[in-house]
Amino acid sequence: MWSFLHKLGSPPWLYAISGSILRWLLPLTLLALAAGVVWGLLFTPPDFRQGNSYRIIYIHVPAAVVALAGYYVMATAGAISLIWRMKMADVAMKAAAPVGAALTFAALFTGAVWGKPTWGTYWVWDARITSMLLLLFLYLGVVVLYEAYENKEAAGKACAVLSLVGTVNIPIIYKSVDWWYSLHQPASIKFTGDSTIDPSMLYPLLLMICAFYALFTCCLLLNMRAELLQREARTGWVRKLARGGE
C-alpha cells in the first residue's frame, strides 16, 4: 500500500501509468457515450407527460451527478495536499476544477433548456438550481485562485481551503428538494427503494452516468498529464520525452 502511495508521488510514474490507462479508457468512454446517446434519444419511449422533451435527462442527469462527485474528488485531493503536502494531490485538485466547472455548466444549461417547456421559463431561483450555480462558482473560484497567485504553493493551499469549505454545499444540493419547496423534481433513481423511472428509460440513463464518470476520469488524467509536463518541464524525464516521445 505504502509502495503504491509512494509511486503516486512520482511524476514520471504517474505520467506513464495515466497514459496506459487512457489508451483503453478513452475509446471505451467514447463508445459508451455514443451508445448511451443513441439508446436514450432514439430507442426509449416518449414520457407520458413530457413527451420527448424529457430525453435531455440523458445529458442533464449524468452531468449533474458527476459534477457533484467530481467536487468530492477535488476536495479530497485538497485535503491530502494540505495534510501530507503531496504535490500530485495538488496537481489532481487543479486538474479537476475546470472539468467539474464544465460539467456543472452543462447541467445548468441543459436544465434551463428542459425548464422552458416544463416550467415555462429557463430559470427560477429554485433551491436545487441555486445551489448548483454556487457549485459552479466554487469550481471557477479554484480555477481563478490558481491563476491569481504567483506563488503556486500558496495558491494550492488557498484552493485546498476553498475546496474543503465548499463541500458543505454538496449535501445541500442533494437534499434541497426534500428540505425546501422546490419546482425541481425529486430523484428518480433510488438505491434504498423502487426507482420512479421505467426500466426502458433507466438503463440507458445508467449507461450515460457510467460514461460520464469515465469521461471525467479521462479529462482529469489528461489535465494532470498536461500540468505535470508544465511543472516538470526542466527535469530530465520530460526532456527525454521531448526527444524520444513517450
Going from the first residue of the chain to its last (246 residues), give the mean pLDDT of each consecutive group of 10, the final group possibly shorter: 64 94 98 97 88 91 97 96 91 97 98 88 89 97 94 93 96 82 64 71 95 98 96 91 74
Gap between the Cα atoms of 172 and 104, Å rounded: 15
* Range 124-146 burial, b when 16+ CB lie within 10 A, else e: bebbbbebbeebbebbbbbeebb
The residues pairing with 51 across neighbouring beta strands, listed in sequence order, are: 47
State the pLDDT at residue 117. 85
| Crossing angle for the helix pair 87-119 and 11-38, to the nearest 10 degrees | 20
State the pLDDT at residue 189. 66
Q: Give a yes or no: residue 193 inside a domain.
A: yes
Q: Give a yes or no: residue 183 inside a domain.
A: yes
CB-CB contact of 195 with 202 (8 Å): yes
Q: Give a yes or no: residue 121 inside a domain.
A: yes
The alpha-carbon radius of gyration of the chain (Å, integer) is 20
CA neighbours within 13 Å on the CB side: how many for 119? Answer: 15
State the pLDDT at residue 179. 72
Q: Give a yes or no: residue 6 inside a domain.
A: no
Q: Give a yes or no: residue 7 inside a domain.
A: no
Place of cell 479537476: 96
Tally of domains in the chain: 1
Q: Give a yes or no: residue 151 inside a domain.
A: yes
Q: Give a yes or no: residue 75 inside a domain.
A: yes
State the pLDDT at residue 182. 64
State the pLDDT at residue 51. 83
Gap between the Cα atoms of 132 and 170, Å rounded: 9
pTM: 0.93
State the pLDDT at residue 121. 87
Instruction: Give the range of the structural domain holding residue 178, as residue numbers without chain letter.
Output: 12-244
Gap between the Cα atoms of 196 and 203, Å rounded: 13
* Range 20-51 burial, b when 16+ CB lie within 10 A, else e: eebeebbeebeebbeebbebbeeebeeeeeee
Q: Give a yes or no: residue 169 inside a domain.
A: yes
